[in-house]
Amino acid sequence: MTEPNMKPVLLSKANDEDTEMVEIFEIDGRGYSIPSRAKVNEVLRYLRTLRKENEDVANAELLERMLGEDAYEALMEFEGLTQENLKEIMAIVQHVVMGPAETAGKK
């Protein structure tokens, strides 16, 4: 096994790169998007909430964080939202954050 590099990992907000956005849902012709790839810190937040709370709380928090306030509010206010719609949106969010391996068994 290779020894790890014992120098500190240098992190900087300047290294943040623009993320490609993908449309996740549309309401009356207006599209709402999320990043095509989640930042790793979102995975850490999800895992911490999962550990400290439960899966339902972790998923609800993840959905709100990934959608952002505008899209989340739009979903909450849309009277035509069905359970199936919400499941589909959540599956996409989980796929973006956790990857295909984690969401394959949840269908």
Q: How confident is the model at residue 76 (pLDDT cuts 50, 70, 90)?
A: very high
Nearest in space to 95 (alpha carbons), one of 62, 52, 61, 64:
62
Higher pLDDT, 106 or 53: 53
For 34, the enclosing helix (H) or strand (E) is strand 30-35
The model's pTM: 0.75
For the chain, the structural domain boundaries read 38-106
